[in-house]
Structure 1
């Protein structure tokens, strides 16, 4: 009995020392979901960042950055049904020779029978500075003939985990003969 009491006392002390940390990590248990402490995941104060870069959609030449996956039906005046996969350069200036900040990877599809409205699904995959390896994900409607188009930021990875915000796209240049385009993107993103 004399040896059982110190062991029992030790177990009780350990239980009271460990149990608050178990609650801190586990949070409220709901079976399949639980509430977590955001600080344990490195989520500190949320900040708003603004990025500006140029998106180069090159559909012609020896090394196009946008390739058709599904061609539009011949009876479509809006291009409805067209799908193109992209790996477009994102540069700091409007010239393709400007410094490369990353790539826009994803696809766009003509999703409107009434006007030219694209469904844009893309990741801005950064390769520059502290954002190297991080992505911002955009998913939304792009009415290409509007002067300014707004699309939502729906997430991200790396430094942009839990990101949300919006992008504004403005056509900088568009070559009607080739279909090549340069678009200025202003990205406003809330992230940790």
Structure 2
């Protein structure tokens, strides 16, 4: 009786597939890095859309500046200060005056990230200290071409009452001092959250 030889590649594939399917249950039961969780278990409520409006104050002058340059632009850079990095702990207020009620802080950093136009890469948390959202944050990461009338940046997350946040912010310069660099910017935030 003649014996039929199996193609070695076919034999390898068949054995590999069989091994894969036989080991799936043991992999699933022993693997502790990822687990599917029910939305009810983490008590997610219905998703809602909130609109927040406040003013961001970037202050380099005075006794208590809220912005500090931590890396200066190289001397051979363009007129845009390409490469400069600023760390911020800026007050967020209800109205455009710094004397308005403080509702939170913008904490993070921005860098001048364009050689052609004055454009910032912003990475900051809006950390709220007042009212219903006290202790909650909204995280923004995006491009801010500061000479545009209105700039839009994405909301990439949040914490507290802004868990699973997504949305966008629109920034509009209210006041800018060319000499000191101090600025007041109106922020309108549209955020989806639970």
Structure 2 unaligned residues grouped into runs of 5+:
1-27
Pairing 1:47–2:67 present: no
Contact 1:29 1:35 in 2 (8 A): no
Q: How many residues align?
A: 165
Deviation at 1:117, TM superposition (A): 1.1
Larger Rg: 2
Residues 129 and 74 (structure 1 numbering): CA distance in 2 closer, same or farther, change over 3 Å?
A: same
Taking the aligned partners of 1:99 and 1:156, their CA distance within structure 2 comes to 23
- Describe how 1:6-155 pairs up with structure 2 within 5 A: 31=31, 32-76=33-77, 77-155=79-157
| TM-score normalized with structure 2 length | 0.82
Deviation at 1:42, TM superposition (A): 1.3
The answer for the alignment partner of 1:157 in structure 2 is 159
| TM-score normalized with structure 1 length | 0.83
Equivalent position to 1:179, from 181, 184, 190: 181
Taking the aligned partners of 1:52 and 1:43, their CA distance within structure 2 comes to 25
Runs of 4+ in 1 over 3 A off after TM superposition: 28-32
SS for the counterpart of 2:40 is helix
Structure 1 unaligned residues grouped into runs of 5+:
1-27
